[in-house]
Amino acid sequence: MRRVLAGVAVAAMGFSLGGAWTARGDNRPAPKGPDEDGTKPALVKIAGEGMMDSHAFQYLTELSDDIGARVTGTPAERKAEEWGVAKMKAIGLENVHKEKYQLWRGWTRGTAQGELLEPIRRPLHVDAMGWTGSTPAGGAEGEVVTANLFDIDDEVKNASRLSGKIVLMVMQGMPKKNADSLFAIFGDFLKAASKAGAIAVIGGQAGSKASGMNLTHTGILGFDADFAIPVLSMTAEDQGQLERYVESGKKVRARFNVQNTFSNGPVESANVVGEIRGRENPEQVLVVGAHLDSWDLSEGATDNGTGSASVLGSAEAIVRSGMRPRRTIRFVLFTGEEQGLDGSFAYMKQHQSEMANHLGDLVLDEGQGPVKEFMLGGRDDVVASFRPFAESLSSIRDIPVNDKVENGTDTLPFSMAGLPGINMNQDSPDYKYTHHSPADALEAVKPEVLAQNATLMALTAFWIADRPERFASPWPAEKTARMLRAQHQYEMLKAFGLWKFGDLGTRDTGKSDSAQN
Ligand SMILES: [Zn+2]
């Protein structure tokens, strides 16, 4: 779901995430990196396997070309699960299996056609947003009117004016909400527009506009959210023209025929799991994950084929090195990420009883670029111990470390459990074009970047699982709630009904128990 707000972010209010880590003022011993903690020889072997004998791009090619698009709950996604199981077994992982769960509802894309009727006549390029509905059979036509995303509360109140209209989302003036809140309230607007009898809404995730030349971008419009009204991503060129017409006072009429299908009830999906069991504390688990599911306008190579191939590539580098970490590394190919992190939320539920034994999770899901940042998912207390490891990677790449939370991928459920949901953030300037679009194809991925990312994932996973001291234990709920509020996650989680902490974290304890000064 990452970068769902790309089109909004530029104009939306900025909000700062996380506290900058500063030097510790206590007398704890300096944290040890691989040179001092005994992990270095194993890491050298793993790096050699990862960089010199990588199959990550081969895995990505298979996933892109042999399976292609794999929307959660569809036959193609089930095929991807079988592929993941077979790959994990071939790599030599232990306890390879699937963990089933149910998605609230399935969805299948049909056709989406648009035609501008006035002031000139020509085809419009659109694709349906995920889990949105259909026009009447044969389509419907109407006048195009605008609704201002930046004044969305009023638009919800005045939705009755949208009866029989085609609604074009625009961004005018200054936003009255931050980007995450806009995402949530856009769902309220869609419901209001639907109730008012609007024909369709033109707008992408969070009501955003498409990026790139002649590209549409699909995606979900909330966590486990479906909408009866057709919501359409339109190419930036077509949408810009409609905006100009409306702004200049021209009468604009269009016709859309959109046909999608929902399943009647829940559909089955499954996470794919395999392990390298720990040699000393096998009960302690680090999850290394990415999402196997994708959208369906292309192959899902950058979202999240790169992450899935990195998970498999990292597992393979460690297995082939012959090195076994002290604790268990559990590799998970999550599904349902694109519908609202359903796979990773299901994982947390299914593994509730062993959560105290988890060390965190490590995720790569930021497109096709090289890793540029380790975001430790809210855990400022582990930044200092992680930093010497990150510095040990400097001959591969300089990668800064911070405690920021990533809420757009499978890190979030772990951060909400008080564990480090570690995001390997990437430098992916082209991701705004490939994200959920017809350009999300293998052509966008460089094999050498993928091999390096997979190797960095392997090194990070092994170091966390193998270092003599346990890396992290879950924080208590109170402390987690306070961190999530401090990192400005409360508003979004509350808006989507995901805040499970009640009033926790509001109490001012008078002192900070974190490493922040
Ligand atoms: Zn993704």
Sign of the dihedral through C-alpha 110, 367, 304, 267 = negative
| pLDDT in the model for residue 2 | 52
Q: Give the amino acid at 276.
A: I
**425 Cα to the center of ligand 1, angstroms:** 12
pLDDT band with cut points at 50, 70 and 90 for residue 179: confident
**409 Cα to the center of ligand 1, angstroms:** 6
**88 Cα to the center of ligand 1, angstroms:** 21
**65 Cα to the center of ligand 1, angstroms:** 18
| CA–CA separation, 124 and 359 (whole Å) | 50
SS3 assignment, position 371:
strand
Question: What is the distance between the terminal CA atoms of the chain, rounded to a whole angstrom?
Answer: 33
pLDDT band with cut points at 50, 70 and 90 for residue 194: very high
pLDDT reading at 180 higher than 80: no
pLDDT reading at 12 higher than 50: no
**69 Cα to the center of ligand 1, angstroms:** 13
Residue 308's nearest CA partner among 3, 49, 67 is 67
**98 Cα to the center of ligand 1, angstroms:** 20
**63 Cα to the center of ligand 1, angstroms:** 15
Residue 493's nearest CA partner among 381, 343, 340, 295 is 340
pLDDT in tens, 206-234: 999 999 999 999 999 999 999 999 999 99
| CA–CA separation, 124 and 332 (whole Å) | 40
pLDDT reading at 5 higher than 60: no
**273 Cα to the center of ligand 1, angstroms:** 18
**341 Cα to the center of ligand 1, angstroms:** 10
Average pLDDT, the chain: 93
**110 Cα to the center of ligand 1, angstroms:** 23
Residue 490's nearest CA partner among 9, 17, 29 is 17
Q: Token digits for 378?
A: 């809210």
| CA–CA separation, 346 and 336 (whole Å) | 9
| CA–CA separation, 437 and 444 (whole Å) | 12
Asked if 217 contacts 87 with a C-beta cutoff of 8 angstroms, the reply is: no
| CA–CA separation, 8 and 172 (whole Å) | 11
Whole-structure pTM value: 0.93
**Between β-strands 358-363 and 371-375, what pairing exists: parallel, antiparallel or unpaired?**
unpaired
Residue 32, judged by CB atoms within 10 A of its CB (0-12, 13-18, 19+), counts as: middle
**164 Cα to the center of ligand 1, angstroms:** 35
SS3 assignment, position 50:
helix
| pLDDT in the model for residue 154 | 95
124 to 30, 115, 139, 256: CA distances (angstroms): 61, 5, 14, 9
**482 Cα to the center of ligand 1, angstroms:** 27
**477 Cα to the center of ligand 1, angstroms:** 27
| Structure-token match 């909000």, residue found | 15
Look up residue 89 and give its DSSP letter.
Answer: H
Residue 4's nearest CA partner among 414, 497, 337, 418 is 337
The average pLDDT across 57-62 equals: 98
**448 Cα to the center of ligand 1, angstroms:** 20
**345 Cα to the center of ligand 1, angstroms:** 15
**2 Cα to the center of ligand 1, angstroms:** 6
| CA–CA separation, 379 and 422 (whole Å) | 9
The neighbour count for residue 474, using CB atoms within 10 Å, is: 18
| Structure-token match 């999402």, residue found | 291
pLDDT in tens, 257-314: 999 999 999 999 999 999 999 999 999 999 999 999 999 999 999 999 999 999 999 9
SS3 assignment, position 17:
coil
**59 Cα to the center of ligand 1, angstroms:** 17
**143 Cα to the center of ligand 1, angstroms:** 35
| CA–CA separation, 330 and 282 (whole Å) | 10
| pLDDT in the model for residue 10 | 31
**181 Cα to the center of ligand 1, angstroms:** 20
Q: How many residues does the chain have?
A: 517
Asked if 307 contacts 363 with a C-beta cutoff of 8 angstroms, the reply is: yes
**304 Cα to the center of ligand 1, angstroms:** 5
**245 Cα to the center of ligand 1, angstroms:** 35
**291 Cα to the center of ligand 1, angstroms:** 7
| Structure-token match 């009501």, residue found | 207
| pLDDT in the model for residue 29 | 78
Look up residue 507 and give its DSSP letter.
Answer: S
| pLDDT in the model for residue 25 | 52
Residue 294's nearest CA partner among 343, 260, 330 is 343
Asked if 287 contacts 414 with a C-beta cutoff of 8 angstroms, the reply is: yes
| CA–CA separation, 292 and 312 (whole Å) | 11
**302 Cα to the center of ligand 1, angstroms:** 8
**11 Cα to the center of ligand 1, angstroms:** 23
In percent, how much of the chain has pLDDT > 90?
89
**338 Cα to the center of ligand 1, angstroms:** 7
Category of 145 on φ-ψ map: left (φ > 0), alpha (ψ -120 to 50) or beta: beta
**170 Cα to the center of ligand 1, angstroms:** 26
**393 Cα to the center of ligand 1, angstroms:** 25
Point out which residues pair with 331 in neighbouring strands. 274, 288
Which of the residue ranges 7-16, 127-136, 184-193 would you say has the lowest mean pLDDT?
7-16
**303 Cα to the center of ligand 1, angstroms:** 5
**Between β-strands 327-334 and 267-276, what pairing exists: parallel, antiparallel or unpaired?**
antiparallel
Residue 469, judged by CB atoms within 10 A of its CB (0-12, 13-18, 19+), counts as: exposed
**441 Cα to the center of ligand 1, angstroms:** 14
**CA angle at 353 for the pair 72 and 274, rounded to the nearest 5°:** 50
Segment (H or E) for 231: strand 231-234
**305 Cα to the center of ligand 1, angstroms:** 9
pLDDT reading at 514 higher than 70: no
**152 Cα to the center of ligand 1, angstroms:** 27
Residue 339, judged by CB atoms within 10 A of its CB (0-12, 13-18, 19+), counts as: buried
**300 Cα to the center of ligand 1, angstroms:** 9
Strand extents, DSSP E, 369-420: 371-375, 401-402
| Structure-token match 């791009």, residue found | 57
**230 Cα to the center of ligand 1, angstroms:** 23
Q: Give the amino acid at 398.
A: D
**246 Cα to the center of ligand 1, angstroms:** 35
